[in-house]
């Protein structure tokens, strides 16, 4: 799996967890776990996508 697909998969999964955390009426530890995993997945996916963009930009110079 290349970096673009992995980054998009992580960002998409993080977005799904964010929507679940906002729409479901849950409280306590489960809410924290879902929201925390959403943050981690979105940040790591964005970082992987930034690396991919930088690599592709340098490859075409």
Give the model confidence (pLDDT) of 32-60 as tens digits. Answer: 999 999 999 999 999 999 999 998 888 87
Radius of gyration of the chain (CA): 14
CA–CA distance, 48 with 3 (Å, rounded to integer): 6
Q: 6-23 pLDDT, tens per residue?
A: 999 999 999 999 999 999
Q: How far apart are CA 20 and CA 34, in angstroms?
A: 8
Cα distance between residue 45 and residue 9, in whole Å: 7
């Amino acid at each position: 799996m290349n970096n673009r697909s992995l980054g998009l998969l992580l960002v998409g999964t993080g977005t799904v967890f964010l929507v679940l955390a906002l729409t479901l009426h849950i409280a306590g530890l489960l809410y924290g776990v879902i929201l925390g995993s959403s943050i981690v997945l979105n940040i790591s996916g964005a970082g992987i996508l930034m690396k991919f963009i930088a690599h592709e930009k340098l490859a075409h110079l």
